[in-house]
């Protein structure tokens, strides 16, 4: 392996440390990291279906979907607290002909005990935030006595009292900006706005900058024009955000390690050795609050420290009335916060359902998590859970005809996703020897529906089948029923397929080299505001605003069902490895941009060669597949199917990406300082952004090597 490094001419790596480079890159990723598809005018209508497809599609019924949705959204099901619901899921699947069971793990979790907060103005008067979401008569689960407090999962327990500083979205670049402006963060409490990076990374960055506590607030600026300030009625009377709504959520350091933070790299059993979790979860307490509670806290900073406009950072200024988003601090004005959590080891339950195929060395896995931060969870995740039960029912109908799939199908209802994709990560860690040999693809649905517009992210080999199945699904949209899902996706949606970062259960699969697709539907700019991780993500909201009639649920379920059917049943696996070559060439161009923005010089020769080899061998693979299909040679077909199943394992790097062993995929990964949003060629790109060109060149070599391994699996 060549590792000749051409360093920056005059300036040393330190001097070149790019200040706002992360930000530039992130904006570019948003625009370009969804590769455009060649869009056809409109998919043929009505679509053509074969007999099996018709049986599957016709089985879908919005009345039963409604029943499943109702069940899942009327009982607390925080991670590790509702085994009844896991068993209920297993029982439904079993009724429809699936062999089902519960897979248990024993994991570290923490639960809220008590919390409080107080603002003391410098004149001695005080304000006490309520830290509660309003009980709404219209929305029955908002008043359940066992409703779940507003809190951050995996937050540290503790008290903090200090002057406080507004830290924007809490990204590293925000802290860099504060430093430039001379704002001290050491020993202070940070108040951060939701949006941008995963919330755990806001807390991580604050902790690394010496802060002793963090408060994270929702801001109506995320709601566009659907706000009270623009004259729109708030939930439950209208589609705007209820001002008391709070976004709960995990503060794990997701981009470093998902899963049980005490068992990195292996499954959590009752007697598993436990390692120090402090690298993966915060040491300082954090509390999430509503914009109504945030208003006086931020207003008190008005006129102190640089104003929001002057700070001039992406997403810094929000839309809370009367707030100028100054940094503060205000001498003598303090926040006191107390956050008490109960740390414990607890059982979690993944429900697993299986239909054996004729080829048991080829397995298609479909998953959705079941746990929610609230009693409801009508969108996140139980729109997906309801759809999965209906899908199990549809396959049951097909089984009744005597059908048996070519490949094994596995359904998974994960627990503890919300704390950090824990149920799926532990399961993958347990079964990885078998999965690495047998898994064809992992299909994920999390929020199946929070609005009417379909959205998809996937690894490149799934792009083609992922879009073609959309053309087979009738997709009701704003009262019109004569179009396909593809039409709505390509006209009202982005018409682009996202790159997988993290934030749901595909993470553990992808980073073991198992290709994945993530599907769901969300709201557009003018749709009702979805109260993410709030009590108002409820059955009432869903039936009134999110998806009245469960019509979008039905279409998303039908989509997932047909996609699963074709992956499990087509003689030739409908995967397109060659599309990885197309995508990697685009990522290479983006990498070249990143390198030139950083004024760096690196040798891209090995990487370019490896991508060219991949392109050549994937096209050889296509020829061999055509031959297998035209000669109908079963042995040859098995050979090509196994190549399609296996090639992506080559993209995984033993030992993982720099500083994060868990993340192994060398083509894409969650950004270190984003958590959700992806970075492509992450080993190289992150090193360039950090200004470590030695590391970048080393990772150019490792990335090229991984691509060569994948290419050689496809070679015929
Ligand atoms: C790259 O060089 C240009 C011109 O010399 C300079 O303006 C820019 O700030 C540099 N960028 C970085 C990230 O160092
Ligand atoms: C578990 O969930 C079910 C269904 O929503 C609910 O009926 C039950 O009360 C929940 N159990 C607990 C202990 O909250
Ligand atoms: C103290 O300051 C706050 C914020 O400026 C103000 O709302 C409050 O009325 C003041 N209290 C007294 C007693 O002056
Ligand atoms: C809000 O409305 C204004 C005026 O109609 C429009 O220009 C703007 O694009 C809208 N913003 C969003 C986010 O929809
Ligand atoms: C804000 O920053 C951008 C880019 O760094 C710069 O072009 C712009 O002039 C700045 N605006 C103000 C008001 O400082
Ligand atoms: C933390 O704060 C709470 C609420 O103010 C208080 O009851 C508790 O005694 C404090 N604990 C410690 C260790 O200071
Ligand atoms: C499915 O296959 C597995 C492994 O080959 C086997 O252990 C299991 O008994 C089969 N299940 C059914 C219901 O046939
Ligand atoms: C679908 O319905 C619209 C009006 O509702 C009509 O204009 C259009 O021609 C119809 N398209 C098809 C393909 O039937
Ligand atoms: C099912 O959808 C139809 C419209 O297609 C609607 O009239 C009906 O109310 C829906 N049923 C339920 C249970 O939501
Ligand atoms: C750059 O990465 C190399 C590993 O390739 C490491 O040895 C070195 O310490 C890193 N430099 C900095 C400044 O972090
Ligand atoms: Zn979710």
pLDDT, residue 71, reads 98
Distance separating alpha carbons of residues 286 and 696, to the nearest angstrom: 34
**Rounded distance between C-alpha atoms, residue 153 and residue 195, angstroms:** 18
Q: Report the C-alpha gap between 79 and 570 in whole angstroms.
A: 37
Output the residue whose Cα is nearest ligand 6's atom 5. Answer: 338
Per CATH, the architecture of 578-714 is what?
Up-down Bundle (1.20)
How many A from CA of 278 to the centre of ligand 4?
44
pLDDT at residue number 42: 80
How do beta strands 407-414 and 334-355 pair? antiparallel
According to the model, what pLDDT value does residue 9 have? 25
Determine the pLDDT at residue 554. Answer: 98
Q: Of all atoms in ligand 6, which is nearest to the CA of residue 338? A: 2
* Residue 404 alpha carbon to ligand 7 centre in Å: 13
- What is the Cα–Cα distance from 249 to 228, expressed in whole angstroms? 25
Question: What's the CA gap between 21 and 438, in Å, rounded?
Answer: 40
pLDDT at residue 38, as a whole number: 59
Q: What is the pLDDT of residue 12?
A: 27
Greatest CA span in the chain, whole angstroms?
Answer: 86
**What is residue 675's predicted lDDT score, i.e. its pLDDT?**
78
Residue 15 is predicted with a pLDDT of 28
Please provide the size of the chain in residues: 716
Distance 712 CA to ligand 3 centre (A): 71
Q: Is the shortest distance between the CB of 358 and ligand 7 below 6 Å? A: no
Radius of gyration of the chain (CA): 25
Q: What's the start-to-end Cα distance of the chain, in Å? A: 24
Identify the nearest ligand to the CA of 72 by its number. Answer: 2
Decide if 111-342 and 578-714 have a common fold.
Answer: no
| Ligand 2: residue whose CA is nearest its atom 7 | 75
The helix or strand, by DSSP H or E, that contains position 87, with its residue range, turns out to be: helix 83-95
Split the chain (716 residues) into runs of 10 and give each run's mean pLDDT.
26 30 39 53 89 98 98 98 98 98 98 98 97 98 97 98 98 97 98 95 98 98 96 98 98 94 97 95 98 98 98 96 98 98 97 97 98 98 98 98 98 98 98 98 98 97 98 97 96 95 95 98 96 98 98 98 98 98 97 96 98 98 97 97 98 96 97 88 96 98 98 97
Structure token pair of residue 320:
């809370």
> 599 CA to middle of ligand 1, Å?
6
Task: Check pocket membership of 125 for ligand 3, CB cut-off 6 A.
Answer: yes
Q: Is 186 a catalytic residue?
A: no
* Structure-block tokens of residue 576: 């397109």
Written as six digits, the tokens of 101 are 């069971």
| Ligand minimally distant from the alpha carbon of residue 117 | 6
What are the structure tokens assigned to 55, written together? 């049986």
Q: Which sequence spans correspond to the domains of the chain?
A: 26-107+344-569, 111-342, 578-714
Q: Which tens digit of pLDDT belongs to each residue from 119-139?
A: 999 999 999 999 999 999 999
CATH number of the structural domain 26-107+344-569: 3.40.630.10
Q: Which ligand is nearest to the CA of 301?
A: 3
Catalytic, out of 133, 417, 418, 429? 417
Dist. CA 13–CA 8, nearest whole Å: 7
| Ligand 2 center–CA 87 separation, angstroms | 11
Q: Within 10 A of 635 (CB to CB), how many other CB atoms are there?
A: 7
The CATH code of the domain at 111-342 is: 3.50.30.30
482 lines ligand 8 (CB under 6 A): yes
What pLDDT is stored for residue 346 in this prediction?
97
Counting from 1 in the atom list of ligand 6, the atom nearest the Cα of 159 is 1
Atom 3 of ligand 1, residue of closest alpha carbon: 599
């Amino acid at each position: 392996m060549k590792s000749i490094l051409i360093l920056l001419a005059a300036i040393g790596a330190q001097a070149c440390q790019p200040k706002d480079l992360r930000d530039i890159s992130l904006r570019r990723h948003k625009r370009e990291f969804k590769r455009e598809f060649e869009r056809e005018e409109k998919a043929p209508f009505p679509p053509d279906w074969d007999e099996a497809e018709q049986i599957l599609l016709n089985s879908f019924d919005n009345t039963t979907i409604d029943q499943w949705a109702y069940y899942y959204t009327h009982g607390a099901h925080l991670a590790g607290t509702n085994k009844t619901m896991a068993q209920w899921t297993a029982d439904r699947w079993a009724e429809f002909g699936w062999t089902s069971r519960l897979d248990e793990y024993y994991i570290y979790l923490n639960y809220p005990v008590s919390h409080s907060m107080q603002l003391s103005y410098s004149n001695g008067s005080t304000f006490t935030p309520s830290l509660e979401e309003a009980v709404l008569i219209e929305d029955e689960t908002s008043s359940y006595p066992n409703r779940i407090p507003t809190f951050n999962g995996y937050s540290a327990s503790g008290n903090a009292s200090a002057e406080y500083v507004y830290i924007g979205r809490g990204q590293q670049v925000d802290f860099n900006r504060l430093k430039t402006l001379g704002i001290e963060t050491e020993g202070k409490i940070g108040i951060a706005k939701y949006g941008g990076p995963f919330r755990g990374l806001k807390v991580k960055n604050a902790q690394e900058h010496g802060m002793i506590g963090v408060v994270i607030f929702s801001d109506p600026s995320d709601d566009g024009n659907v706000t009270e300030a623009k004259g729109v009625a708030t939930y439950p009377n209208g589609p705007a955000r209820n001002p008391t709504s709070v976004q709960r959520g995990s503060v794990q350091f997701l981009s470093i390690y998902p899963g049980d933070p005490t068992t990195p790299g292996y499954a959590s059993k009752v007697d598993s050795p436990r390692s120090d979790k402090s690298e993966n979860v915060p040491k300082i307490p954090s509390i999430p609050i509503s914009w109504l509670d945030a208003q006086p806290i931020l207003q008190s900073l008005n006129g102190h420290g640089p104003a929001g406009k002057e700070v001039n950072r992406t997403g810094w200024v929000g839309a809370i009335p009367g707030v100028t988003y100054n940094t503060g601090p205000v001498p003598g004005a303090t926040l006191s916060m107390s956050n008490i959590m109960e740390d414990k080891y607890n059982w979690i339950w993944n429900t697993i359902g299986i239909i054996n195929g004729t080829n048991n060395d080829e397995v298609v896995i479909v998953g959705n998590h079941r746990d929610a931060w609230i009693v409801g969870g009508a969108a996140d995740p139980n729109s997906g859970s309801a759809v999965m039960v209906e899908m199990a029912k549809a396959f049951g109908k097909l089984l009744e005809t005597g059908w048996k799939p070519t490949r094994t199908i596995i359904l998974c209802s994960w627990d503890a996703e919300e704390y950090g994709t824990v149920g799926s990560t532990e399961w993958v860690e347990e079964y990885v020897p078998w999965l690495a040999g047998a898994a064809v693809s992992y299909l994920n649905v999390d929020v199946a529906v929070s609005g009417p517009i379909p959205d998809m992210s996937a690894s490149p080999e799934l792009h083609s089948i992922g879009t073609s199945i959309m053309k087979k699904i009738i997709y009701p949209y704003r009262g019109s029923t004569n179009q396909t899902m593809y039409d709505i996706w390509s006209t009202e949606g982005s018409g682009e397929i996202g790159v997988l970062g993290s934030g749901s259960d595909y993470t553990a699969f992808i980073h073991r080299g198992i290709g994945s697709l993530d599907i769901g539907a969300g709201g557009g700019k003018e749709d009702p505001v979805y109260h993410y991780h709030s009590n108002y993500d409820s059955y009432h909201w869903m039936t009134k605003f999110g998806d009245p009639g469960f019509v979008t649920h039905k279409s998303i379920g039908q989509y997932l069902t047909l996609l699963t059917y074709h992956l499990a049943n087509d003689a030739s696996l409908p995967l397109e490895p060659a599309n990885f070559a197309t995508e990697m060439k685009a990522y290479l161009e983006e990498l070249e941009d990143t390198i030139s923005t950083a004024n760096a010089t690196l040798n891209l020769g090995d990487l370019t060669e490896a991508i060219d080899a991949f392109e050549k061998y994937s096209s050889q693979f296509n020829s061999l597949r055509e031959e297998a299909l035209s000669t109908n040679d079963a042995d040859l077909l098995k050979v090509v199917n196994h190549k399609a199943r296996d090639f992506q394992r080559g993209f995984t790097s033993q030992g993982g990406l720099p500083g994060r062993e868990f993340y192994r995929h060398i083509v894409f990964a969650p950004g270190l300082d984003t958590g959700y949003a992806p970075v492509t060629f992450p080993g190289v790109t992150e090193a360039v952004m950090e200004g470590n060109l030695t590391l970048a060149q080393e990772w150019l070599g490792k990335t090229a090597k991984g691509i060569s391994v994948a290419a050689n699996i496809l070679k015929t």
